[in-house]
């Protein structure tokens, strides 16, 4: 088979022929069909601070979809020929208090997860992938295209945060960072989950207008200025006086103003979920959080059944993926795909196809 191989940050990155992995106990061999490309994959290949790369050469690539080619002897439900989606988020299955976790094809999460990551370091940018059975979800709906399946990873991450923060039907939600890949997905998901009003906040007015148009009449765009007091007032006004729920998905923010505006937009008893990657400390006013009974919830990724929940939202018609524009490349054309993904907007997705 052919696969892209990376020898660590800034190391050689080549498209080469490698052996098809052997199926073993507890694994599934998948013939990959489609892989979404991270917007920062080009920078990741060159070397990004904060990521724990495997020490051995590996195949990058996180999410994806394909068809089961073979299963291990102790796999009971999945069968060859089934369509499946692959999750990069893996958690060790031992019954310990803090099991190791990792993102396959991308990074270990902490130094203690490096051995775990070494075992499952290869990702989806290949013709075949060997994955642990608990990283694979079957797709039984034949009407779903490969394009739709490629989008599931983008929606899985924010859905994990919305569910962790207990977003309820009829509530008002503020989404900070609403023009990014995950943030725009969070807006559409909040609508799908029954939010009465969704405030989409970001710095690009045109992209916000596009997200609001995709979400429909319940979405209220707010352009952030960087002025904490003014942004808080704008968010509270758009939320009808205050929000029940706020969700922060801002990537590598260099200041805390947008996140704080989201916190200050909350009504009493409100919840703020943090899933972004802000690069500076978050200053909190102790008394403000205490007096208003606010919850601040840090959350990473999603539960194992998240793709089943997403597929149910799509089948029911509550979540429509057609607002996302797809840009397609062949697996061998990955360098061009990485360039396209780097400049793509939140309502677009760059994919590579292996078949």
- CA 203 to chain centroid, in Å, comes to 21
**For residue 240, what are its two tokens?**
């009808």
What CA–CA distance (Å, rounded) separates 346 from 214?
11
Do the Cβ atoms of 266 and 289 come closer than 8 Å? Answer: no
Do 166-298 and 2-153+322-353 fall under one CATH topology?
no
What pLDDT sits at residue 50?
87
pLDDT in tens, 185-226: 999 999 999 999 999 999 999 999 999 999 999 999 999 999
Beta strands per DSSP E along 134-218: 136-139, 172-176, 197-202
- CA 180 to chain centroid, in Å, comes to 11
Q: Which regions of the chain are under pLDDT 70? A: none
What CA–CA distance (Å, rounded) separates 195 from 201?
16
List the alpha helices (DSSP H) in the chain.
Answer: 41-46, 114-119, 146-164, 181-192, 205-215, 228-238, 257-264, 286-291, 306-315, 334-343
CA distances from 117 to 86, 129, 280 (A): 16, 15, 27
Class of the CATH domain delimited by 166-298: alpha beta
What CA–CA distance (Å, rounded) separates 58 from 268?
48
Residue count (the chain): 355
CATH classification number, 2-153+322-353, choose in 3.30.1360.170, 1.20.120.1200, 3.90.180.10, 2.40.50.140: 3.90.180.10
Is pTM beyond 0.85 here?
yes
Locate the domains of the chain by residue range: 2-153+322-353, 166-298
The vertex-158 CA angle with 307 and 5, nearest 5°, equals 70
What CA–CA distance (Å, rounded) separates 80 from 71?
7
SS3 40: coil
What pLDDT sits at residue 252?
85
């Amino acid at each position: 088979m052919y696969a892209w191989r990376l020898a660590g940050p800034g190391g050689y990155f080549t498209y080469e022929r490698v052996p098809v992995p052997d199926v073993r106990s507890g694994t599934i061999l998948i013939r990959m069909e489609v892989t979404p490309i991270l917007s920062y994959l080009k920078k990741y290949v060159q070397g990004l601070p904060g990521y724990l790369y495997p020490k051995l050469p590996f195949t990058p690539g996180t999410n994806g979809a394909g068809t089961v080619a073979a299963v291990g002897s102790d796999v009971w439900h999945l069968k060859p020929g089934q369509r499946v989606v692959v999750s990069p988020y893996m958690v060790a299955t031992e019954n310990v208090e803090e099991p190791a976790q990792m993102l396959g094809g991308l990074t270990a999460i902490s130094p203690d997860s490096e051995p775990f990551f070494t075992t499952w370091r290869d990702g989806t940018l290949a013709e075949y992938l060997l994955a642990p059975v608990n990283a694979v979800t079957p797709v039984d709906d034949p009407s779903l295209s490969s394009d739709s399946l490629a989008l599931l990873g983008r929606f899985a991450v924010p859905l994990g945060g919305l569910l962790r923060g207990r977003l309820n039907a009829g509530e008002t939600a503020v989404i900070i960072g609403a023009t990014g890949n995950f943030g725009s997905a969070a807006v559409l998901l909040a609508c799908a989950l029954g939010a009465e009003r969704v405030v989409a906040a970001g710095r690009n007015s045109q992209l916000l207008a596009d997200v609001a148009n995709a979400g429909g009449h319940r979405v209220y765009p707010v352009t952030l200025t960087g002025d904490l007091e003014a942004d808080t007032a704008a968010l509270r006004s758009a939320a009808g006086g205050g929000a029940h729920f706020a969700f922060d998905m801002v990537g590598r923010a260099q200041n805390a103003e947008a996140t704080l505006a989201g916190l200050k937009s909350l009504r009493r008893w409100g919840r703020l979920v943090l899933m972004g990657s802000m690069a500076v400390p978050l200053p909190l006013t102790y008394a403000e959080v205490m007096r208003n009974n606010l919850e601040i919830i840090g959350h990473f990724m999603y539960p194992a059944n998240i793709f089943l929940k997403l597929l149910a939202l799509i089948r029911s018609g509550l979540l429509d993926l057609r607002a996302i524009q797809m840009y397609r490349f062949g697996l061998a054309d990955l360098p061009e795909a990485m360039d396209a993904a780097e400049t793509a907007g939140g309502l677009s997705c760059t994919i590579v196809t292996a078949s």
